[in-house]
Structure 1
Amino acid sequence: MVKIFIDPGHGGSDAGASGNGLIEKNLTLQIALALRNLLLDEYQNVSVQLSRTSDQTVSLTQRTNAANNWGADFYLSIHINAGGGTGFESYIYPGVGAPTTTYRDRIHEEIIKAVDFRDRGKKTADFHVLRETVMPALLTENGFVDNADDADKLKSSAFIQSIVRGHANGLARAFNLTKKAAALYKVQIGAFKENANADNLATQAEAKGFDAIVIYRESLYKVQIGAFSSKENAEALVQQAKSAGFEAFIYQE
């Protein structure tokens, strides 16, 4: 069992970076929750724990202590940048060697493959979450909220899902994760030719407590709110969505 600790940066009273109508703490949580769900839904023998699952204040020490006490195999801290730049970059602690460097290289490469971001490179820094973790640790900076082009991308649910997929692909490659053989029961609430319409429905679903993502497939932008190996769990989510006013149904892949 591979134990992945995911740390959505900032939260609560610590908003992180902001710009162009975006707040870092919200984006990092959105990415982390979607990444957790994707890993658990699609891969075998992986366990995931988050430093926070809502907009709450969690100190840096609390984050690293939680990962250390849990005995995580890997610590992934997710952030959004600011300061006038553009693109994606990743950080590890200075002077560390394999396996941290190997994990970093594979995850960085897969994220760059998945997203339309400039590659700012693989870097080192004396960050608390990299220094105080006893397991290999990586911090990713996923675009700049104060850059108009990056911000426009980060406002798209489909682009956020690309970030999530890149992280998942990197983790799967780094830890040789095996995909589940069984088809997933996915819950969809809409499909559109225009991305803006899908993003609007996803926003409505998120406002009502659903983890909505937009996936571009078969020439349509599809709004998905869950994926399960159990049909019973998918059916329960369909009923919740219908009760909330959405037209929901199950499809398999």
Structure 2
Amino acid sequence: MKIMIDAGHGPNTAGKRSPDGSLREFQFTSAVAEYLEEELNNYQGVQTSFSHDASRRIDVPLIERTNRANAWKADLFISIHANAYTGRWHTGGGIETYVYTTRPKEALELANKVQNELIKATGLRNRGVKSADFHVLRESNMTAILTECGFYDNKEELALLKKDSYRRKCADAICKGIVDMYNLKRKQMVKSANTSTPSKTGEYKVQKTIGGYITAADAKAKRNKKTNVTKGSYYVYKRASGMINVTKKKGVPGSWINPADNKQQSTTKTFKVRVKSYELWYYNKPDWNAKKDTFKRGQEFTVVETLTVNGSKMYKLSNGNYITANPQYVQKL
């Protein structure tokens, strides 16, 4: 099953923020999207992708989002939003889920399951399942729903939308609705005795101090580092997207790590990188003003040299061009 996850709006969308400016809608939606991806990847036969820019740098137009989902031949489109009434503080609130105006049978059934799980998890007012002529519901060729997970112009609900625990609740609830609808089965975790992977007893040995992250997606992208995970033995709490959550207290969530960080660095001078962001500028010389064109997400290149330009690292590629070395935008393979 191919599931396209859509974090509503983007980091630069005008409006789409709380009246006091303390929260942009995309801050909430992108976090929930990553938690949802993390949960869905624990199920058999599930593939996930983002319609928005995973690097959180640019706004992706609605038409590009649905075009991408249609080209990928997604089976499901899940659009995540937070709500606003007037843009001024008010006391109304709650959660609602949308389907297209024709109220397709499968979408309506899924929307009801997701809506019920969201209300059960959050305890907020049930505003019900509604229909609307939203672009992502109209132009997507697959079953599509859109969730509104609370109002950011309601002070009480804004406080919730800012909390990591609430974002996880929303992601878990959406996942539960999807799992129930399609009878998805959890993957059986295969454990190995190798010290660089979880052992048969669910332990993991960290060889050196490495970064610890809030989510599996953050660990994979090496962004939003929250702590250092020092050398030693840990319990494995969970695995997702090739990342591992390690903890000193068995059964209690810890920090997400990237197993690649736990390996000895290669002595080879050249290495491969993959573009992570939706688009990435490249340069015809080691100069941040020498923009030439853009590469697309997924393209891979060989790095022949790493250099520092005006305080920031840059990679020289084997094709003679240059790109940023920021791990937020490129992944070292």
Q: Is the 8 A contact 1:39 1:46 kept in 2?
A: yes
Residue in 2 that maps onto 1:80: 82
How far is the alpha carbon of 1:95 from its aligned partner?
1.8
* Cα RMSD, aligned residues only: 3.3
- Provide closer, same or farther for how the CA distance between residues 43 and 123 of structure 1 changes in structure 2, counting only shifts above 3 A: same
Amino acid at match of 1:72: A
How far is the alpha carbon of 1:12 from its aligned partner?
3.6
Per-residue CA distance 1:13-41 (angstroms, 9 max, x = gap): 3155211511101111011011111111x
How far is the alpha carbon of 1:130 from its aligned partner?
0.6
Residue in 2 that maps onto 1:237: 258
- Provide closer, same or farther for how the CA distance between residues 82 and 209 of structure 1 changes in structure 2, counting only shifts above 3 A: same
| Count of matched residue positions in the alignment of Structure 1 and Structure 2 | 214
TM norm structure 2: 0.57
- Provide closer, same or farther for how the CA distance between residues 139 and 229 of structure 1 changes in structure 2, counting only shifts above 3 A: closer
Residue in 1 that maps onto 2:35: 34
- Provide closer, same or farther for how the CA distance between residues 43 and 211 of structure 1 changes in structure 2, counting only shifts above 3 A: farther
- Provide closer, same or farther for how the CA distance between residues 236 and 139 of structure 1 changes in structure 2, counting only shifts above 3 A: closer
2:6 is paired with a residue whose SS is strand
1:122 is paired with a residue whose SS is strand
Amino acid at match of 2:4: F
1:52-131 equivalence runs, <5 A: 52=52, 53-55=54-56, 56-83=58-85, 84=90, 85-131=92-138
How far is the alpha carbon of 1:96 from its aligned partner?
2.7
Separation in 1, partners of 2:114, 2:28: 19
How far is the alpha carbon of 1:97 from its aligned partner?
2.7
Q: Is the 8 A contact 2:114 2:176 kept in 1?
A: yes
How far is the alpha carbon of 1:225 from its aligned partner?
10
Question: Is the counterpart of residue 227 in structure 1 residue 239 in structure 2?
Answer: yes
Where structure 2 has 5 or more consecutive residues not aligned to the other structure, the ranges are 192-197, 204-212, 227-235, 247-255, 263-333
1:163-182 equivalence runs, <5 A: 163-182=170-189
Separation in 2, partners of 1:231, 1:32: 17
Separation in 2, partners of 1:202, 1:229: 14
Residue in 1 that maps onto 2:165: 158
Question: Is the counterpart of residue 50 in structure 1 residue 50 in structure 2?
Answer: yes
Q: Between the two structures, name the one with larger relative contact order (CA 8 Å, sep ≥ 6).
A: 1
2:239 is paired with a residue whose SS is strand
Q: Is the 8 A contact 2:243 2:259 kept in 1?
A: no
Where structure 1 has 5 or more consecutive residues not aligned to the other structure, the ranges are 188-200, 213-223, 242-253
Q: Is the 8 A contact 1:15 1:23 kept in 2?
A: no
Residue in 2 that maps onto 1:209: 223
Identity, in percent, stands at 35
Q: Which moved more, 1:142-151 or 1:81-90?
A: 81-90
1:33 is paired with a residue whose SS is helix
Per-residue CA distance 1:49-95 (angstroms, 9 max, x = gap): 10121322100100000011111111111001011431110110112
Separation in 1, partners of 2:225, 2:72: 26
Amino acid at match of 2:34: L
Q: Which moved more, 1:7-16 or 1:56-65?
A: 7-16
Q: Is the 8 A contact 2:238 2:245 kept in 1?
A: no
TM norm structure 1: 0.74
More strand by share: 2
Per-residue CA distance 1:128-158 (angstroms, 9 max, x = gap): 1111111111000010111111011112211
1:22 is paired with a residue whose SS is coil
Q: Is the 8 A contact 1:91 1:124 kept in 2?
A: yes
Structure having the higher Rg? 2
- Provide closer, same or farther for how the CA distance between residues 69 and 124 of structure 1 changes in structure 2, counting only shifts above 3 A: same
2:140 is paired with a residue whose SS is coil
- Provide closer, same or farther for how the CA distance between residues 232 and 161 of structure 1 changes in structure 2, counting only shifts above 3 A: closer
- Provide closer, same or farther for how the CA distance between residues 156 and 231 of structure 1 changes in structure 2, counting only shifts above 3 A: closer
- Provide closer, same or farther for how the CA distance between residues 12 and 101 of structure 1 changes in structure 2, counting only shifts above 3 A: same
Separation in 1, partners of 2:14, 2:183: 34
